[in-house]
Amino acid sequence: MRYSLRREACLLLPVLLLLPLLCCGCGDRGKQALLDESQHSVETALNAWKLGEKPSVLLDSPQAIEFFDDDWNRSANLVEYSVQQTYYETNGTPRCAVDLVIKVGEQPPEQVRVTYEMVNKEGRLVIARDPMS
């Protein structure tokens, strides 16, 4: 019997030692989920733009999104996009850096790096392009 208790203790010891390490990141799951949701919302909006929709169509979606981008409002065509990074600003606001390929009229497509900032406001998600990006 002494042997089996010692064996069980030996098996349990690594688990007890690793448990604090495994739980260290548990508090960050909510933050990561918010970043994932934010990126998904930006991608939803950009897909609508790429399909030729107007920004107002996003207000009728299950998660109402109010999207502000001057190029989209000026009827520029979104040819392609690539999300580069989704992160938190120092004030805790989710931000999403995106490379856009935009075509205006007969001009050749132009690649620009933009940053979108997300804020929940009165039951809808507001996504706005940072004019300084």
pTM: 0.77
Please report the pLDDT score of residue 27 as a whole number. Answer: 55
Higher-confidence position of 76 and 7 = 76
Q: Which one of 3.40.50, 3.30.470, 1.10.287, 3.10.450 gives the CATH number of domain 27-129?
A: 3.10.450
Pairwise CA distance, residues 92 & 77, whole Å: 31
Cα 83-121-67 angle, rounded to 5 deg = 40
Model confidence over 15-38: pLDDT tens digits?
Answer: 333 333 334 445 578 899 999 999
The distance from CA 101 to its chain's CA centroid, rounded to whole angstroms, is 19
Model confidence over 34-50: pLDDT tens digits?
Answer: 999 999 999 999 999 99
Higher-confidence position of 26 and 109 = 109
Model confidence over 62-106: pLDDT tens digits?
Answer: 889 999 999 999 999 999 999 999 999 999 999 999 999 999 999
Please report, for the chain, the start and end positions of each structural domain, with discontinuous segments joined by +: 27-129
Please report the pLDDT score of residue 100 as a whole number. Answer: 99
